[in-house]
Amino acid sequence: MSPTKSLNGASFMDVLKDKVILLTGGTGSFGNKFTEIALSQHSPKAIRVFSRGEKKQYDMEKKFKDDRLRFFIGDVRDKDRLRRAMTDADIVVHAAALKQVPACEYNPIEAVRTNIDGSINVIDAAIDNGIDRVMAISTDKAVHPVNLYGATKMTAEKLFIQGNSYAGKVHTKFSCVRYGNVIGSRGSVVPLFLEQKKTGTLTITDEQMTRFWITLEQGVNFVINCIGRMKGGEIFIPKIPSMKITELATAIAPRAKRKIIGIRPGEKIHEVLLTDEEATHAREFSDSFVIEPEHAFWSTRHPIGGKPLPVPFRYTSDENKQWLTKQQLMAIIKEFGCLEN
């Protein structure tokens, strides 16, 4: 296998080379970037894009024009369709979810059926098909959840980690990647501020608010790196920088007025990616933290390396050691097309 890069540039062997990959939620922003990077840098045998949207699949097919792509219309709520889509696949990346907080609050049963029941279906279908590795994409909202979206993602994390117990003698391994806000993604504050900049006024929920930041490309590369590292049962967390919301506002629209509107329902002042409790069974690496499972099946895995964390320890956006400067943020925004030159 050929080498590839981790979040911080370290090399490892390419786990995607000559593999058949099923990507749920494959037409979303993560799915498009994952497909772009996998096809151009990792030589997979095939990528099966699994999603509900016929139009988005058509657009994606025109965009990439690559005969290694396969398109499956389907919903993670449909276990039989997932089983068929996973036939003879090697790796599953589970990115399908309802993720907009207000939409999940207003449609709670739909959020549960997609984010929780859909995760159960992915786990069952993967075990039934003998998939080698299954990586679920999670979020900081799953940590100490204060809204339904976060609660469903917390449950999904638990399901995937404990899915290793359900696998039994089948070699299928399940792990999760958990990270924070993706700069410029759908529903994030960067596009909102860019739109509000035209009006001359930005809305700020709380002046003390901080957020973790990661680019879409960094997120995808980190996921691919973790698929190569996983033993089954880990939650992988990248080390990424923080920034205050007020500094973001200054970087995007330095002359705009600010209107403080108060924190919204289900929103946090600061983000948490690793809790004190999780730190007691986590390891630290140069580019990441890895939470080890506390369950019996882990005793059969090989050591993952790294070093233990001090107690107490927590990884939060306000106590982060790494902060983006205004210049770094401006460079990222321009690079990823979120700001006019």
141 carries an active-site annotation: yes
Q: Phi and psi at residue 142, in whole multiples of 5°?
A: -75, -15
- Sequence-distant (6+) residues with CB within 8 A of 231 are 173, 175, 301, 302, 304
* Residue at token pair 């986590």: 282
DSSP-derived letter for residue 323 is: B
Give the C-alpha separation, 51 to 25, whole Å: 5
Residue found under tokens 């309802």: 98
**DSSP codes of every residue in 214-252:** E-HHHHHHHHHHHHHH--SS-EEEE---EEEHHHHHHHH
Alpha carbons 169 and 328: distance in angstroms, whole number: 48
Q: Are 68 and 23 in contact (CB under 8 A)?
A: no
Neighbours of 13 (CB within 10 A): 10
Which among 19, 33, 99, 141 is annotated as catalytic? 141
By C-alpha distance, which of 125, 333, 321, 95 is closest to 223? 95
Count CB atoms within 10 A of the CB of residue 273. 25
Concatenating the DSSP letter of every residue in 182-215 gives ETT-TT-HHHHHHHHHTTTEEEES-TT-EEEEE-
State the catalytic residues: 141
